[in-house]
Amino acid sequence: MTLTTLRRSRRVLATIIILFGLIHISFVFPVITFNISMLWFIGSGFMLVFSGFLNLAVVQYCAKSLVGYLTLVSNIICLGLFILSLWVIREPQVYIGIALFFVATVILVAALVLMETRKYADDTQEDRP
């Protein structure tokens, strides 16, 4: 698997996560009664959108900064929250969220490992006379 393939798949996956969050938020409207459950629902949708934004940002800046590792932490937290929500909500969107963030985490780990090994190989090439 090449970095170009990983980059394309991460971009598509990040877009799907953002759309998943926007669809999640859209189920709130029209707001008839505004209560704490509604706020949590909207907040969860924004969590998905911002996590998708992080996954899009990591496509550009993964090798250049800490963004890749922060996105990895974000993906693991989102995956954990979706797994925890299985105890309360056993509906298809929870399984979709688990699948999305599991795949996003695995692909990001693969990209980070590939970039680190490539960086290590470049460093050892420069050390040779």
Query: Tens digits of per-residue pLDDT, 95-107?
Result: 999 999 999 999 9
Residue 86, pLDDT score: 93
Residue partners of 63: CB distance under 8 A and separation at least 6: 115, 119
Higher local confidence (pLDDT), 57 or 121: 57
d(CA 4, CA 26): 33
Higher local confidence (pLDDT), 111 or 20: 20
CA distances for 2 relative to 8, 60, 120, angstroms: 10, 16, 16
**Residue 71 CB coordination number (10 Å):** 26
Domain ranges across the chain: 3-124
Residue 21, pLDDT score: 95
**Confidence check: pLDDT of 65 > 80:** no
Query: Tens digits of per-residue pLDDT, 8-55?
Result: 899 999 999 999 999 999 988 887 788 898 899 899 999 999 999 999
